[in-house]
Chain A
């Protein structure tokens, strides 16, 4: 079975598919990534849940050439991207499956979100996180 590592941002469906979560504030009109108790922009409780979608474009990026901590099992170097979804919600995640030597990451190019296993629960369930990959 798959579980979300951050249920306020990622919903993993029984089918194995997933949805990202966002909120559209009816008071200030802001579309915000993830679910929050109140609108982080205007503190209104009057919002509706929205789905930011699975595709966005790179708004900013960096390539880290150091492991971020001692327990790091991921690649070095690795890329981080700020992804902007249609409607304006943004999030930061890792850009995966990219050849950082041959590929020039650029602001504005499209990416697609997918989910990956980050860890397992004691019962053996997969704990899932979302990552980005370049749209071919």
Chain B
């Protein structure tokens, strides 16, 4: 258990987003990350040399100390730089978890977190190259999500149509997000009739593999007004939890349940205060179980909330207004930072066409990762 120490407030000073997609080989992860970092620095109103620690995240094959090759382009002014913080799909949200603590405890004032990925096509599998899993065909991410979907349907009586509706909603949201990889509307029939990948999950219920980058500048709240006049978005809660052995007895991810409890407590808010969420919908079923784990709807009712339209941008609890991993894309190392950037834009009122209405004040992100990681961040706009 973490010790209770007095923490300073931490804000998201700047965000750097660029469209995710498929880029030619000569557009490297370094190019993508440089662009995201430049945007985040500009948005934060800081100079490169104001940064006191720089952290980088990726999952798949890149250079050794991949981030250093990005950061050295801007100049190495003697600060600590970390070439890779890796925690599967939860990598850059893990970096934020660390940065929040480094600033909160008073060691540093300004930290940069960047994540980028160039991904090969094809299914995401267990990383061990020589293992029984490779011969058996187990360890395929979408196979694991298929197990989750079937179990959820058996335990709560959900229909595959309700689960597939997540894809319909998120792809529709993607059409109004300039950063989304996919900008195409799908009907429920098109989602259900697309190619079967891992029964009962069809192709349009599985997120794509993507190229992309995202960056954040985090800053101690008490000096933030030196750099920006934008509304300050505080990271009020930050938690990382791991699946326990005993959690397998439950369908709803208990690592997220525990992370949400910790992050809400730090933030002094509850799930009833949350105005919008970005959650890990690598497969459609992911969104449903994660909103239940975050307490945004009662256990076993995520599928009903979805078909009733409560998770739409205009619904009672908008989920994945960006289009989520389904439409926005999922360059693994960038996704965690991307989610926090997205919520920041909504809380600032800068999300344009996809802006969640009603002047939202509290947003939550949840980023899950292979191996049982879940990171939850609660963001609150200062009055």
Contacts and interface: CB of A to CB of B under 8 A. Distances in A.
B98 interface: no
A90 B147 CA distance: 14
Given A62-B199, A65-B199, A40 B137 contact: no
Contacts of B132: 5-6, 118, 129
Contacts of B134: 68-69, 71
B197 A65 contact: yes
A61 B140 contact: no
Nearest to A92: B138
Contacts of B139: 68
Contacts of B244: 41
Nearest to A76: B137
Contact of B122 (A41, A61, A65, A70): A70
Contact of A69 (B122, B146, B147): B122
A135 interface: no
Nearest to B135: A118
B156 to A, nearest CB: 15
Contacts of A90: 248
A69 B125 contact: yes
A65 B135 contact: no
A64 B136 contact: no
Given A64-B197, A68-B123, A69-B125, A74 B147 contact: no
Contacts of B64: none
A62 B125 contact: no
A80 B197 contact: no
Contact of A93 (B122, B131, B136): B136
A65 B195 contact: yes
B269 to A, nearest CB: 33
B137 A65 contact: no
Contacts of B197: 64-66
Nearest to B139: A68
A85 interface: no
A6 B199 CA distance: 28
B196 A65 contact: yes
A133 B327 CA distance: 38
B123 to A, nearest CB: 6
A24 B212 CA distance: 46
Contacts of B138: 80, 92-94
A63 interface: yes
Contact of B136 (A61, A70, A71, A129): A129
Interface string B101-135: 00000000000000000000011010000011011
Contact of B146 (A40, A62, A74, A94): A62
Nearest to A107: B154
Interface in A44-91: 60-72, 74, 77-78, 80, 82, 90
B137 A68 contact: yes
A69 B140 CA distance: 9
Nearest to A82: B147
B125 A61 contact: no
B198 A63 contact: yes
14 contacts: A5-B132, A41-B246, A62-B150, A64-B137, A64-B140, A66-B198, A68-B125, A68-B139, A69-B122, A78-B137, A80-B137, A118-B132, A129-B132, A131-B136
CB-based closest 5 A-B pairs: A62-B146, A118-B135, A63-B199, A68-B137, A41-B245
